[in-house]
Structure 1
Amino acid sequence: MDWCINNDILLRVREQQVIVRNPSYGTTAVHFLDSVSIPIRLAQSIQLAPHHEHIVRSFTPLSFASCVSYIPNGFLCRIHHITDETEKRICFDILNRHRRIFDISKPTIAKTKLPHVIITADHPPISVRPYYRTIEQRKELQHEVDKLLMDNIVRPSTSPWSSPVILKKKPDGTYRFLVDFRRLNSITKKDAYPQPSAEELIYRLSGHSYFTKLDLKSGYFQIPIVESDKEKTAFVTPDGHYEFNVLAQGLMNAPASFQRVMNNLLATGRWDYVVIYLDDIVIFSHSFEEHKRHVDEILSILDTAHFKVSPPKCTIAANQIEFLGHLITPNTVEPCRDKIKVILDIPSPRTLSQANRFLGKIGYYRKFIPDFARIAAPLHKVTNKTRTKRHEFYWHDEQQAAFEQFKTILTTSPLFLHFPDPSVPFILSTDASLTRIAGVLKQNTSNGLKVCYYKSRLLSDIEQRYSATEREALAIYWCLDQLRTYIGGSSVLIETDHQPLSNMHKKHSFRNKRIDNWLLKLQDILPQIIAIKYRRGVDNVGPDFLTRYDPLDSSSIIESPSSSCTDSYDKSSKISVPLPQRTSHSDSFLIDSAWPSGTETWDSIVVSP
């Protein structure tokens, strides 16, 4: 009810009325049809502020309270996008049936048969004294502990174990409460339960039209700990000794335990219509009829297990969602704009850790940047330091130019990729230079050539001493190995500008131990290769460009994948070829390039859709 007070909302239960005072539109009186219509009408009055009234049919104070209880938590924030009134009503019916999981007014501990365990063998208890705190920090620390006690997240302890507490200051001046479990983690037996690959999860969402995203509220704090191991989570402050009742952040096996619980809980639909990455749950379907059934089933499972989700972070029955830093649509994937803004706001690094932090953030989106390896080379030059040489860090004009170039690409290039169509063969164009290898994965669809993935990396010192044939073969091997998930069981045509590698997959032996070894590792995917086709370097512009030349200026700003591809390139001189203005993918100029003489017969191999 604090939300109602803060937003000047007056609830008149006897009159079955809500009074909304909006500074822009004045006062709005809203009547309700029933308990389900309350969230809809209140949302309209808050977001649109119209002067309207609705006739009352049936209403009880109890149903009113139950609906209003989760409105302040953003229950409506992600539903206004549904334009079809029938679909909207169905969604509200489903959500209303499971409204308990949206009520985050009081924390709960989920019911699970897989509580977190901490295995320390026979190691004696570890006890660390509390860190020194100022008076201000001491008050803040006790305030945080009191909140945890009130929510039953921690309890007073008499444990022989104790870990100190870290207070990390936030930009707004408040503190973040963390327990330093490093000593405990050092003696804990590691849980090797696998974490899902972000690439695989994103790829699984391709081709679907409806998405619902659920975010568990303080997910770790909903997972119980085995009673006998709670004492090991004990922490100490200058004013007391406490231990966790639930899974705490900072414990070494916390991610593994959490992922195991969620995978087992949602095992029936996992990978079929739901994917889970820790506390993020995404439900995906081809049609609304399927989606309402899938959402209802997942919410029922979460409700039965007493899990709670955070309403402001949930998206219901949308055509696109943000997931793992990417904006997912039925046919494309692109970086989230707010994540790009974070990278753009990073100042020039002045220390090794700052440079590594920038590389880590930009590297997460390297699949969208065609010439990533070449641009990042100056940055790797100053960050790939051994422990004894880290003090030699420097930041010169070469590094600053690469730093600025990445930011330019993020603001001017079309940072999106198409999801692959498993019914259409792939085209993998690869190339190698003295220092880099690269590849572009594409599909020739009825709507034109679509780029699915960019791959590139620097060669190691040893790899740079390979022969030209070995480097070109390495480019093919590495790209195929890295893109197995995307290629799946589809056919693939490989393009290379090194003629000796033509159809090398059909040879029993290449008479080169290194290449034969790579072919052996690819034996499961070799039957899917239609052909390894020779394409002259002047025509293999995409990957050849990524490995050899500096990216040139582009001024077009792309807002969506629907932009047309109209530019061509100059075939007369490879050295002076400028990168086309990026009206579509950076590889769009491959569409108009002619096949080299003598290879026209290969055109019939790739079936046009």
Structure 2
Amino acid sequence: MGNALPPPAYGVVCDIDVQGHPPIRQKARRTPLRSLGKLYELLKGLLTARLVSFSDSPWASPIVIVLKKNGIDIRLCIDYKRVNAITAIIEYAMPLVDDLLTEMEAYLWFCSLDAASGFWAVMMTRRARKISAFVCALGHFEWLRMPFGLKNAPMIYQRTIDNALRGFVQPKGGWANFSEKMRLAETAEAEDKAGVTEASVSPNEAPRTKFEADRALSTTESAVASLVKSPLADMYSSGEPDESSLVPVLDRRSVVDDICFGSETFEACLATLDRLLSRFRECRISVSFSNSLFVQRKVGFLCHDVSAAGIAPDAKKAAAVTELSFPASKKGVQSFLGALNYYSRFIQDFAVYGAALYQLKDADFEPGGDLSAASQSFAMLQQRIRDAPILRHFDRGKDVHVTLFANEWALSSTLMQEHEGKLHPVRFCGRVLKDADMNYHPAEKEVLALLLVLKVCYTQLVGKSIRVYTRFSTLEWVHKSKTLFGRATQFAVLLSPWHLVVERVKEKDCVFAQLLQAGLTSFVDLDESLASVAPPSKGSANVRLDPHLLYARLPTSYSGHVLSFDVSAKTETHGGYGSCSWILRKLPEWTIVIAVSAYLEATTVNLAEYAGMNNGVSAALGLAITDLVIVGDSRLAMQQSLGVIACRKETLMTQLNHHRELVAKLRLVK
């Protein structure tokens, strides 16, 4: 249909319920003089196409002029923020992108259809016309067709397309009856318009202003507008069951005006297309021929390339992301992450590599800020979207495999299925750890990664047996044990509906690595390569969380002393007491040199950590030990002593200074 305005869809109207709120009349915002000519042309086109008319409504929302990418043309946007705030929302479930990209494993031929003009195919009720009124430097106008920006517009249009594909209700009297009424109304409107036009060019008439002819057209209510006001116009209010022989057309949903479907054979796909177009003709929904693809091996859908081989990111959009330079502000980083997040399903360990970018602050971009980890993360994410694999369609007939990974700041999981003897990715997912999650044991973090993929891919995985590959035996114990406590009980409850087959993968497992499709990273090798992208630790803007600092790695032949400590403490409401213990061992025999515990009458967890660590160092010095390795699971004392976390509290600063005095007496400390 090109750029022509499509005729209105049958049986649907846009109404706006402001729940009795008095009219909101806002002032027009200033328009730059250089944009005034473009605004006039745009409004003139809308008036000519009968999309808007002049208004005498007590409502008025201001316009916002937005320049298009070419820097010359403008886009008309209306600020409906205050109108939307008082509008009663239509509760209608919108489809999710994840759901729309599934159930395509059997397709060999595809169609991708784009409905013409989208929202403009829906007529407005008289009340909606008045409430939608907008004001600008060139006048006061109201919409005759549903505009963008209204809160309920996506739901109204989605419901229209869903009804066309499924066939729930029809206009009162049937589609053919309403079609005839609309034809008569449009004929009458065309005759009225022709009459006004002839009168407007009479040689005896006085000269008119630019918009006077358009105002004449809008002063009288057209036959189509009268039909829209009638009870016949809204089929959802009448609720008459659809008796069409063409429905249901598809067993899939669309998202607003994008429709994608397919079939195993060319003929079957063509037959479905023919039935769909016949149904759209019946409902009077127009399709944009230039923006649609018919019976192809590969089509574009929701910025993805869909084919029988699987799903890939749109090549042009992915290339645009990879060509960006590192942003100069936090806002620029957020824009980059927003663009990349849409394609996160294609990036293995997206959250692991992106955490340093998520934690950036405005101060980090000032002189002296450390952007080394962020720059490295930025480059690695660009490389990963450049090398993004084709994700296979999920096949319910195949076994499901899941790999898990978690480190100090993020977790990730990979959903895979076997094709030609290799495990191919179906979906990557992950997230940055919350503060509380960071205290979990790595095995518990991997349970969180499993719960995440079960949630994200629920509709695909429900009822399936899932083989899970993990580095720890904890997951199998949590899933099967009958004697659980603490967080393990909660994990067991959440995992109880699922049938899991847990397989532990040892470090450097070559057999498992060979199962993976080329390009997939085996999680057992990840820890070695993540130091450069570690995000800043909480409380410190410039010091990154280095895995080599946080994990003690000693050769098996190491000879020396190792100090370990552990603590516990009650909160003040439960007594405020605690305890600490420290053990000094001699390696390589692991002989216990000293093991001591102490009761602390009034303490906190952080003070108890310092007490255990400092008492252990003092004990080592008392035995004339000069080289010492200190290990512990402390989230504060250890990291403050390393400079990873800033220390600002006076009581802790005293303990930290004491610790520094003690370790200064050692020849070597790690």
What range is the shorter-chain TM-score in? 0.5 to 0.7
Relative distance call for 1:518 and 1:189 in structure 2 (3 A) is farther
> What residue in structure 2 maps to residue 462 of structure 1?
436
Range moving further from structure 2, 337-346 or 103-112? 103-112
Deviations along 1:432-455, one digit per CA (max 9) or x if unpaired, are 333332222222234532222222
Q: 2:494 aligns with which of 514, 521, 545?
A: 521
Cα offset, 1:314, TM superposition: 0.6
Letter matched to residue 433 of structure 1: N
Shift of 1:546: 7.5
Deviations 1:513-554 (A, max 9, x none): 423323323443x1x33x21222233266453476242799x
Offset of residue 118 of structure 1: 1.3
CA distance in 1, matches of 2:84, 2:257: 22
2:404 equivalent in structure 1:
430
State which of 130, 139, 148 in structure 1 corresponds to 2:37. Answer: 139
Match for 2:384: what amino acid?
Answer: I
1:253 to 152, 174, 177: 152
Distance 1:171 1:297 in 2: 39
1:301: how far off? 1.5
The 5 A counterparts of 1:203-214 are: 203-214=102-113
Partners in 2 of 1:545 and 1:138 — Cα distance? 62
Match of 2:53 in 1: 155
How far 1:427 sits from its partner (Å)?
Answer: 1.3
Cα distance in 2 between the residues matched to 1:273 and 1:330: 18
Is this contact kept in 2: 1:430–1:439, CA < 8 A?
A: yes
Q: 1:220 to 1:344 in 2, by over 3 A?
A: same
For residues 390 and 129 of structure 1, what CA distance do their matches in structure 2 show? 40
Offset of 1:414 from its aligned partner?
Answer: 4.3
Q: CA deviation at 1:285?
A: 1.4
Give, in whole Å, the separation in 1 of the partners of 2:525 and 2:461. Answer: 21
Letter in 1 for 2:358: H
The residue identity in structure 2 corresponding to 1:450 is H
Q: Match of 1:382, SS?
A: coil
Q: Once structures 1 and 2 are overlaid, which stretch shifts more, 468-477 or 317-326? A: 468-477
Give the aligned residue type for 1:161: W
Q: What is the match of residue 127 of structure 1?
A: 25
Question: Which of 128, 138, 142 is residue 229 of structure 1 equivalent to?
Answer: 128
Match of 1:339 in 2: 317
Cα distance, 1:503–1:445 mapped onto 2, change above 3 Å: farther
Change in CA separation of 1:156 and 1:414 when aligned onto 2, cut-off 3 Å:
closer
2:5 is equivalent to residue 107 of structure 1: yes
Equivalent residue letter for 2:523: D
Alignment of 1:54-203 (within 5 A): 103-104=1-2, 106-172=4-70, 173-203=72-102
Contact 1:431 1:472 (C-alpha < 8 Å) held by counterparts: yes
Q: Note if contact 1:350-1:395 (Cα within 8 Å) is conserved in structure 2.
A: no
Q: Does 1:532 align with 2:502?
A: yes
In structure 2, how many angstroms separate the alpha carbons of the residues matched to 1:406 and 1:545? Answer: 20
Distance 1:391 1:483 in 2: 37
Q: What secondary structure sits across from 1:275 in the alignment?
A: coil
How big is each residue's C-alpha offset from its partner over 1:6-27, in whole Å with a ceiling of 9 and x where there is no partner?
Answer: xxxxxxxxxxxxxxxxxxxxxx
TM-score by length of 1: 0.68
- C-alpha change, 1:391 and 1:158, in structure 2 (3 Å) is farther
Match of 2:378 among 386, 398, 403: 403
Aligned equivalents of 1:283 and 1:258: distance in 2? 19
Q: Please give the secondary structure, in 2, of the residue aligned with 1:334.
A: strand
Deviation of 1:404 after TM superposition, in Å, equals 1.9
Is 1:219 aligned to residue 219 of structure 2?
no
Tell me by how many angstroms 1:145 deviates. Answer: 0.9
Name the CA distance, whole Å, in 1 between partners of 2:472 and 2:166: 47
Question: Is the alpha carbon distance of 1:105 and 1:251 closer, same or farther for their aligned partners in structure 2, counting shifts above 3 Å?
Answer: closer
SS in 2 for 1:295: helix
Among 303, 307, 315, the alignment partner of 2:293 is 315
Q: What residue in structure 1 maps to residue 645 of structure 2?
A: none
Provide the C-alpha distance between the structure 2 equivalents of 1:219 and 1:156, rounded to a whole number of angstroms.
23
Whether the 8 Å CA contact 1:275–1:283 is kept in 2: the answer is no
Shift of 1:381: 1.4
Aligned mate of 1:284, from 262, 270, 275: 262
The gaps in structure 1 that reach 5 residues or longer are 1-102, 554-573, 576-609
Q: Which residue does 2:138 correspond to in 1?
A: 239
Letter matched to residue 82 of structure 2: R
Q: Alignment partner for residue 330 of structure 1, among 308, 313, 318?
A: 308
Q: CA deviation at 1:144?
A: 0.7
Task: Show the counterpart of 2:282.
Answer: 304
CA shift at 1:188, angstroms? 1.5
Q: Structure 1 residues 171 and 139 mapped into 2: Cα distance closer, same or farther (>3 Å)? A: same
- Aligned match of 1:489: 463
Distance, in Å, in 2 between the alignment partners of 1:375 and 1:352 is 17
AA matched with 2:161 = M
Distance apart, 1:299 and its partner CA: 0.5
CA contact (8 A) 1:130 1:238 kept: yes
- 2:345 equivalent in structure 1: 367
C-alpha deviation, 1:233, in angstroms: 0.4
**Equivalent position amino acid for 1:550 in 2:** S
- 8 Å Cα contact 1:427/1:441 also seen in 2: yes
Following TM superposition, by how much is the alpha carbon of 1:291 offset from its aligned partner in structure 2, in angstroms? 1.4
Q: Alpha-carbon deviations, 1:224-275, whole Å to 9, x = none?
A: 2222221000011222211001111111221122111111221156794443
Q: List gaps (5 residues or longer) in structure 2.
A: 168-246, 514-520, 533-552, 555-670
| Offset, 1:129 | 1.5
* 2:161 is aligned with 1:262: yes
One-letter identity of the residue aligned with 1:406: L
Q: Structure 1, residues 50-90: CA drift from partner, whole Å, max 9, x if none? A: xxxxxxxxxxxxxxxxxxxxxxxxxxxxxxxxxxxxxxxxx
Residue 619 of structure 2 corresponds to none
Q: State the SS of the aligned residue for 1:418.
A: coil
Among 365, 370, 377, the residue aligned to 2:355: 377
Measured after TM superposition, the shift of residue 339 of structure 1 is 0.8
Q: TM-score, normalised by structure 2?
A: 0.62
Q: Quick check: which has more Rg, 1 or 2?
A: 2
Correspondence 1:511 to 2:488: no
The separation in 2 between residues aligned to 1:552 and 1:511, in whole angstroms, is 35
User: Per the alignment, in what secondary structure is the counterpart of residue 94 of structure 2?
Assistant: coil
Q: Distance in 2 between matches of 1:510 and 1:299?
A: 60
CA distance in 1: counterparts of 2:365 and 2:323, whole angstroms: 26
Shift of 1:196: 0.8
**Residue of structure 2 in register with 1:607 after alignment:** none
- Tell me what 1:65 maps to: none
- 1:272–1:107: structure 2 CA closer, same or farther, 3 Å change rule? closer
* Secondary structure in 1 matching 2:105: coil
Question: Matched residue of 1:266: which SS?
Answer: helix
* Cα distance change, pair 537–477 in 1 and its aligned pair in 2 (3 A): farther
Secondary structure of the 1:205 match is coil
Distance 1:469 1:341, change over 3 A: closer
**RMSD (CA atoms):** 2.8
Closer/same/farther in 2, CA of residues 134 and 158 from structure 1, 3 Å limit: same
Alignment partner, residue 173 of structure 2 = none
Counterparts of 2:82 and 2:365, CA distance in 1: 28
**Cα pair 2:352 2:411 within 8 Å, conserved:** no
Post-superposition CA distance 1:580-601 (Å, at most 9, x none): xxxxxxxxxxxxxxxxxxxxxx
The within-5 A match list for 1:432-447 is: 432-447=406-421
Question: Percent identical across equivalent pairs?
Answer: 23
Which position in structure 2 is the counterpart of 1:499?
A: 473
Letter in 1 for 2:415: L
Bigger drift between 444-453 and 360-369 goes to: 444-453
More displaced 10-residue stretch of structure 1: 133-142 or 391-400: 391-400
SS at match of 1:360: helix
* 1:197–1:455 CA distance, 2 compared to 1 (3 A): same
